[in-house]
Amino acid sequence: LTKKTILTFPLEQLYLHPSKTSPFIRHVVATLLGFYLALFCFGWYALHFLVQSGLAYGVMIFTGVEHMHKYCFVVTLGYLSFCQVTRAYVFDYGMYSADFTGPMMVITQKITSLAFEIHDGLMKREEHLKPSQKYLAVRKMPSLLEYLSYNCNFMGILAGPTCSYNDYIAFIEGRWYEPKHLESNGKENGKFKQSDPSPKVVWFHCSLAPSGDRLTFVLYLYISMLALRPKYYFVWTLADAINNAAGFGFNGYNADGTPKWDRISNLRILNIEFATSFKMFLDNWNIQTALWLKRVCYERCPYNPTAATFLLSAIWHGVYPGYYLTFITGIVVTMAARAVRHNVRQHFLGSATLKLIYDVITWFSTQMAICYTVVPFVLLAVGPSLKFYSSWYCCIHLICLLLVLVLPVKSRRTKQQEQPSSIHASEQNCLSSPDNNCRLLDPHTAL
């Protein structure tokens, strides 16, 4: 399959360059190749991609623009959940092993993002939009071909990642060399919470707690979770290479004139493995999903956006209860991390030695917090997950709750009033922005 995908790149570069062919032809070829790859991989289950896209497009056409984004969100996420339930609990036994709901998760991101972008472009006044929303706003309804090309193009049909509609259309029309709008740097005005902090579904049969002392237990947990990540590194790196080979990943030039190829990159491996904060880990894991969650949920939810974003991420991932245990734990860990950073970090910045000590402690704390949080995500079921947490005496839950209760933290509204919005030149340059391989998180989220 990888060979088949890579062999499409010479066709794209030699015969379908925007200087040599029309956007219509590029849309047609991208869509047909994408659906061919989907059929090759998933068989007739790939029809779900068209059904989901068709239902959402019907909602866009036949409902008013005022509420279209809400209806699209419910219909698209609902159909995804229906497919996840039937795959997991009805047709799982004896079904073709490839999970067709994986591409549907990316299509769900694209459809819901587009619905909100159309709503912003056709319903809201420009002065009421945030800088990033102005850049992303879609000013006209896409044609059916443009819509299907965006959802099912061969570059992203199998592993994503998601991208904005305006970026994709600019690429098809040959305008993607233009500088991209930058959202605010997470260190200055970031206000987002996570996608998934862990690899997705893996089931293994082993003892939840190895025999031996507590240090062995901690080391075993770290190595076990570390061993799960490489396959996701491979998939997302390959997806990045596919988009770059087609030219879609080009994102302008650095100050020294070297080209950047990170327009829709989805991870930064070294930043993940050496993360010294919960925020830094999440900043660099599944970046484009984080961007989607920020745009459709965190920025728009009027009440408790952090909890709402965690809940949406859990629903989007699937129906296994382990997902929800992970994200409930993630809410508590996030609040504690925010409190620690706000109250403790500044005391370790006085000297290089203190900073080094702080970095070592926070690296260890971050890795343990991530591993502890994502175990239910891996085990999927409630029983084994609770058995694991009980073997740890729920210690991280208790520590995080204590930190939240004891340490003061400014509210989100207060921070928004104190920090003016900042506009930058490209969405992918800032270290903590989810659109540029970093995630827009609250600046006080990290440990």
Pair 183, 427: CB distance under 8 Å: yes
Report how far residue 249's alpha carbon sits from residue 180's, in angstroms, rounded to the nearest whole number: 12
Whether the bond between 197 and the residue before it is cis, its omega within 30 degrees of 0, is no
- The catalytic site residues sit at 286, 317
Give 387's Cβ-side CA count (13 Å radius).
10
- Write b or e for each residue in 204-236: b if 16 or more Cβ atoms lie within 10 A of its Cβ, otherwise e: eeeebbeeeeeeebbebbeebbeebbeebeebb
Task: Name every residue whose Cβ is closer than 8 Å to that of residue 291 and which is 6 or more positions away in sequence.
Answer: 162, 434, 435, 439, 440
Q: How many CB atoms lie within 10 A of CB 203?
A: 11
* Dihedral of the alpha carbons of 362, 365, 369, 370, in degrees to the nearest 10: 60
Pair 113, 295: CB distance under 8 Å: yes
- Write b or e for each residue in 75-86: b if 16 or more Cβ atoms lie within 10 A of its Cβ, otherwise e: bbbebbbebbee
Pair 439, 194: CB distance under 8 Å: yes
